[in-house]
C-alpha cells in the first residue's frame, strides 16, 4: 500500500489531516463571541476549558440540527448560544 502513495498523495493526505484536526480544534475550543459585550466575553473566558468544550458541543449539536432542518437563519444568527441577534429580520 505504501508503494501506491505518490508524493502528491502524501502531501494531500498530510494537508487534509491537518485541516481535519484544525476543524475539530475549532469546534471544541474556539468560542463564538459574535454579538456579545465585553463583560459577557470575559464571563465566557473565565470558565474552565471542559465547560467551554461542553458549551461548544451543545452549540454544535444545535447548529447541525438546525442545518438538517433547513433553519439556516438560526445558525447565522447564533441563537444556539442564546446570544442576542445582530441580524435584522427585514
Decide if pLDDT at 88 tops 80.
no
Number of folded domains that form the chain: 1
**Is 54 a domain residue?**
yes
Please tell me what DSSP assigns to residue 41: H
The C-alpha R_g of the chain, in whole angstroms, comes to: 18
Measure the CA–CA gap between 12 and 17, rounded to whole angstroms. Answer: 8
Highest mean pLDDT among 16-20, 48-52, 59-63, 70-74: 16-20
**Could you give the CA distance from residue 37 to residue 8 in angstroms, rounded to a whole number?**
46
Residues near 87 by Cβ (< 8 Å), separated by ≥ 6?
A: 73, 76, 77
Is residue 69 in some structural domain?
yes
Does a structural domain hold residue 37?
yes
pLDDT digits (tens, 9 = 90+) for 40-59: 999 988 999 999 899 888 88
Q: Has residue 42 been placed in a domain?
A: yes
| Any domain includes 75 | yes
9: in domain: no
Task: Identify the domain containing residue 36 by its residue range.
Answer: 32-84
Mean pLDDT across the stretch 67-72?
Answer: 89
Amino acid at each position: 500500500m505504501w508503494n501506491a502513495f505518490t508524493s502528491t498523495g502524501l502531501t494531500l493526505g498530510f494537508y487534509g489531516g491537518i485541516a481535519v484536526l484544525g476543524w475539530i480544534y475549532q469546534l471544541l475550543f474556539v468560542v463564538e463571541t459574535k454579538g456579545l459585550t465585553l463583560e459577557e466575553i470575559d464571563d465566557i473566558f473565565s470558565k474552565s476549558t471542559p465547560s467551554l468544550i461542553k458549551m461548544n458541543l451543545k452549540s454544535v449539536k444545535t447548529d447541525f440540527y438546525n442545518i438538517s432542518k433547513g433553519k439556516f437563519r438560526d445558525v447565522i444568527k447564533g441563537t444556539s448560544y442564546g446570544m442576542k441577534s445582530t441580524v435584522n429580520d427585514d
